[in-house]
């Protein structure tokens, strides 16, 4: 399996796993390192946004 196809599979799995999270009593949270901060990410119509991301120095909530 190529790196690109493995990445694509992971993205599809993430979106399908989280597509119905609002129906459950849970709130998904992303975890990242501070060095992974970027100004903007590309967004696709099927993307599932996370309501919060936690880094060692800050909790980002939308």
| Tokens coding 34 | 């501070």
> With a cut of 70, which residues of the chain have pLDDT below it?
1-12
Q: What pLDDT score was predicted for residue 23?
A: 78
Determine the Cα–Cα distance for residues 33 and 58; give it in Å rounded to an integer: 10
Element (H, E) at 45: none
Residue with tokens 């709130």: 27
What is the tally of structural domains in the chain?
1
Q: What pLDDT score was predicted for residue 6?
A: 66
Q: Which domain covers residue 14, as residue numbers?
A: 3-61
Q: What pLDDT score was predicted for residue 44?
A: 85
């Amino acid at each position: 399996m190529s790196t690109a196809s493995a990445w694509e599979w992971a993205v599809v799995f993430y979106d399908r796993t989280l597509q119905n999270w609002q129906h459950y009593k849970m709130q998904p949270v992303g975890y990242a390192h501070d060095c992974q901060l970027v100004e903007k990410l590309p967004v696709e119509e099927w993307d599932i946004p996370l309501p919060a991301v936690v880094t060692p120095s800050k909790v980002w909530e939308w």
